[in-house]
Amino acid sequence: MGYQVEDIDLQEAYGRAADYQYALLYMISERIILCNAGSLPEINWKECQEARFFSEDRELHIFEGEEGMQAVEVFDTDEEDIVVKEYELDNRFRTAGKTVLVKEYLDYDSDGQVFVALTRLKGIR
């Protein structure tokens, strides 16, 4: 498999956010922020419903789970069985770039049929 997922402490995740190149945040105020992580304003974590911090080889995902806010970090382990897709960004996000890159990690079921096991953000062009 081409990835590893690690559960991490929420406070530690908040501290690691600055280690990533890009940020996508969904806020309660219905404001969605997509930008270079270096230009991100201070985050009001109480208003954040979901956050994805991402770079070429990893993603930090902060989200509402069954037990409240949780965080996982996804790392690439190899380049086997992956598909990278590129999607055009809406005009309101054009200050960040024209397209977003999404990496899909493929796996196979017991019948040998392929399925997408995990999807993560990879970059912006």
Structure tokens at 26: 């969904």
Give CA separation, 13 vs 60, 83, 111, 121, in Å.
Answer: 7, 27, 38, 17
One-letter identity of residue 119: T
Q: What is the spatial distance between Cα 38 and Cα 19, in angstroms, rounded to a whole number?
A: 9
Q: pTM of the prediction?
A: 0.92
Domain ranges within the chain, ordered by starting residue: 3-124
For 67, phi and psi rounded to 5 degrees?
Answer: -110, 25
pLDDT tens-place values along the chain, 125 residues long: 789 999 999 999 999 999 999 999 999 987 888 888 888 888 999 999 999 999 999 999 999 999 899 999 999 998 889 999 999 999 989 889 999 999 999 999 999 999 999 999 999 99
Q: What is the spatial distance between Cα 125 and Cα 123, in angstroms, rounded to a whole number?
A: 7
Determine the pLDDT at residue 80: 84
* Cβ atoms of residues 53 and 23 within 8 Å: yes
